Amino acid sequence: MAAATPSAASRIAVVTGASGGIGAATARGLAEAGYRVVLTARRKDRIEALAEELNAAGHTATAYPLDVTDRAAVDEFATAFKTVGVLVNNAGGALGADPVATGDPEDWRRMYETNVIGTLHLTQALLPKLEASGDGTVVVVSSTAGHSTYEGGAGYVAAKHGAHVLAETLRLEIVGRPVRVVEIAPGMVKTDEFALTRFGGDEAKAAKVYEGVAEPLTAADVADTITWAVTRPSHVNIDLLVVRPRAQASNSKVHRER
């Protein structure tokens, strides 16, 4: 792996949604790249266990239970830092796969709250600390759903388009300041929870998402792209990186082996 930015060893990387999947894998990747990682998620036991594991392996990790939709809690969290090198906005996810005609407005609201407002909260609260580091990076983990739509996806697609727009607009607004804005847009990633959460715990429906797909991406594959983007030299801004498994040409064109 390429060398981390020179000051990585002394720098802090905050990862949201670090209790599992892409967030946990990203925390591992950034810890291995020399960052002091701060793991946030609602599930305290999970982030504490991961922090313990990383510390036992010689890295520096701390766990901070946080709900990204709770603005007061996010502001309180931000007071813990003078500077932050990296913020990975990973918390989010999908709820339901219903057509527009019958989708639950409450699912749409919750997806907007976590994927967009959660990212907004963390970014607003930590932007001064990222700037104060003299070399900050904001990562928005969006999705291929932030770039095109598919039937049954509209609620999630709308939220991820929101996350994409946040990243693109922020990059325009802060150009000239020492903060990069990186968007990573993963396609089909098989994690323990993404599809299960989307289908309210229905294992059969969740399994169907990946049925016949030889090798969906793993959380580690996506973490690898995030870590790569973050560890480019400071003047290199990976604006947008779309990453899919080889078997997926678009959200609706997936090769399945029968």
Binding site for ligand 8X3 (CB under 6 A): 143-145, 153, 156, 187-188, 251
Q: How is residue 245 annotated by DSSP? A: -
Whether residue 143 contacts residue 185, with contact meaning beta carbons closer than 8 Å, is answered with yes
- The residue nearest ligand 8X3 at its CB is 143
Of 35, 64, 112, 156, which residue is the catalytic one? 156
- Identify whether 156 is a catalytic site residue: yes
| CA 221 – CA 25 distance, rounded (Å) | 9
Q: How is residue 23 annotated by DSSP? A: H
Tokens 């219903």, residue?
98
The residue among 61 and 223 lying less far from ligand 8X3, judged by its C-beta, is 223
Q: State both tokens at 18.
A: 């670090």
**Closest separation in Å from C-beta 18 to ligand 8X3:** 18
**Closest separation in Å from C-beta 160 to ligand 8X3:** 7
Q: 28: helix, coil or strand? A: helix
Q: Is 104 left (phi over 0), alpha (psi -120 to 50) or beta?
A: beta
The residue among 85 and 187 lying less far from ligand 8X3, judged by its C-beta, is 187
The residue among 51 and 95 lying less far from ligand 8X3, judged by its C-beta, is 95
The residue among 54 and 139 lying less far from ligand 8X3, judged by its C-beta, is 139
**Closest separation in Å from C-beta 196 to ligand 8X3:** 12
| CA 48 – CA 26 distance, rounded (Å) | 15
Three-state SS letters, 162-177: HHHHHHHHHHHHCCCC
**Closest separation in Å from C-beta 237 to ligand 8X3:** 23
Q: Is 70 left (phi over 0), alpha (psi -120 to 50) or beta?
A: beta
Just list the catalytic residues. Answer: 156
